[in-house]
Amino acid sequence: KQEVTQIPAALSVPEGENLVLNCSFTDSAIYNLQWFRQDPGKGLTSLLLIQSSQREQTSGRLNASLDKSSGRSTLYIAASQPGDSATYLCAAPNTGNQFYFGTGTSLTVIP
Amino acid sequence: DAGITQSPRHKVTETGTPVTLRCHQTENHRYMYWYRQDPGHGLRLIHYSYGVKDTDKGEVSDGYSVSRSKTEDFLLTLESATSSQTSVYFCAILGGGNTEAFFGQGTRLTVV
């Protein structure tokens, strides 16, 4: 079973700051790694998908990196805004396409 | 947005009663998943399906069963609901391999 860990569990930053969220996983035999955002009381929204052969993927102010050999991924958020406040989750499906999640990082961006 | 809907969105039921949650997709994706989300535990996989009539257990499958008779529908059944099954349930779909997963909006189930 894939074990996924996300650090930190919670993060509070002032608006405009750049920040990094961390995700580690135990099974490196993955197809890809996906980052999600979850707002309170809502479902998960896909943010970025990094293929196992890629090292980085960018979308707007978001940049995700993947190091399969060390079992790590990071999500970099540039120039944070209050609207970025949410819980961020990562998941790495194994070769059986089973998705396992960590407990996420709860981000608060203070205006 | 991906075409995935869950029903009902909210349900209150009594202990010992059977409950069925439905996940419907219009994307013709092969893989479908049921998760539960609880404070302090994050998202935990209950069951998943890799095709019509093909299902397998996840990490917290006890007390739950699933069925998939059509590509578009994946049903989660609590045979005899217990208070420990009070949770928010999410369905997800995946085309396979290197594609994105998409989630439904969730079903909040309360067992009293």
Q: Cβ of A34 and B101 within 8 Å?
A: yes
Of A1, A44, A49, the CB nearest to B103: A44
pLDDT in the model for residue B25: 97
Give strand pairing partners of A22.
A7, A74
Give strand pairing partners of B20.
B77
- Return the ∠ at Cα A90 (arms to A89 and A94), rounded to 5°: 145
**Do A88 and A75 form a contact (C-beta atoms < 8 A)?**
yes
User: How many angstroms separate the Cα of B47 from the Cα of each of A47, B69, B105?
Assistant: 24, 15, 18
Q: Locate the chain A residue with the closest alpha carbon to B38.
A: A103
Q: For residue B69, what pLDDT band results from cuts at 50, 70 and 90?
A: very high
The residue-averaged pLDDT of A83-109 equals: 89
pLDDT in the model for residue A94: 74
Per-residue pLDDT at B1 exceeds 70:
no
B34 touches chain A (CB under 8 A): no
pLDDT in the model for residue B83: 97
A29 touches chain B (CB under 8 A): no
pLDDT in the model for residue B5: 96
β-strands B107-111, B87-94 pairing? antiparallel
**Do B8 and B108 form a contact (C-beta atoms < 8 A)?**
no
Q: Cβ of A32 and B45 within 8 Å?
A: no
Measured between beta carbons, the chain B residues lying within 8 angstroms of A34 are 100-101
The C-alpha of A101 sits at a distance from chain B's nearest C-alpha, in angstroms, of: 6
Q: Give the pair of three-digit tokens for residue A100.
A: 């396992």
Q: How many CB atoms lie within 10 A of CB B75?
A: 17
- Read off the DSSP letter of residue A80: -
Q: For residue A93, what pLDDT band results from cuts at 50, 70 and 90?
A: confident
Per-residue pLDDT at B94 exceeds 80:
yes
Percent of chain A as helix, strand, coil, to the nearest 5: 5, 55, 40
